[in-house]
A = this chain, B = another copy of it.
Amino acid sequence: MSAKLPFTPNPETDLVLERTVDVPPEWVWAAWTNPEHLKHWFCPRPWSVAECKIDLRPGGVFRTVMKSPQGELMPAGDGCILALEENRRLVWTSAMEPDFRPVESGEDAFLFTAHILIEPDGAGTRYVAIAMHPDEKGRQKHEQMGFHEGWGTALDQLVEYMQSRAS
């Protein structure tokens, strides 16, 4: 089954991960929106999440700090939640800070908006993550950073973690 998307991704500028997973949409939603859950799965191991702050409203902060296996912190800046529908859709961006303040631009800025789309698929969830970039260069950079493997592994970790909580 292919999920119904709110817009058509542009293959030149956007990256898409689409999978069906064996946990219900409510679990995927909880994993994405509760910082205590998110810390357990958001970074492919042996990387980890040192800090996570989420203010679940349009304009609210979506901040994560990743930690390398060597203990180096990689703050990604305060992100901003743009839109949400409980158990259905979460949109956040690295291109804004809370209250929709645009981030300082510059050649080395890594700007993207993430659309996380979830819907029931049998007893599980059809999961679509779209990373949307300003241009082809941004898409290429994210692809070289390992978008597909990274976001795929993180999703595996999400499923494993949420299943372990239920057992």
A residues neighboring B (CB under 8 Å): 6-7, 13, 58-59, 82-83, 91, 93-96, 98-107, 109, 111-113, 115, 132-135
Contacts and interface: CB of A to CB of B under 8 A. Distances in A.
Contact of A59 (B83, B101, B109): B83
B101 A134 contact: yes
Contact of A99 (B94, B102, B132, B133): B132
Given A105-B106, A105-B134, A134-B105, A100 B82 contact: yes
Nearest to A82: B100
Contact of A105 (B6, B59, B111, B113): B111
19 contacts: A6-B59, A7-B99, A13-B101, A58-B82, A58-B83, A59-B82, A93-B102, A95-B96, A99-B132, A100-B113, A100-B115, A100-B132, A101-B113, A102-B113, A103-B134, A104-B134, A104-B135, A105-B109, A105-B111
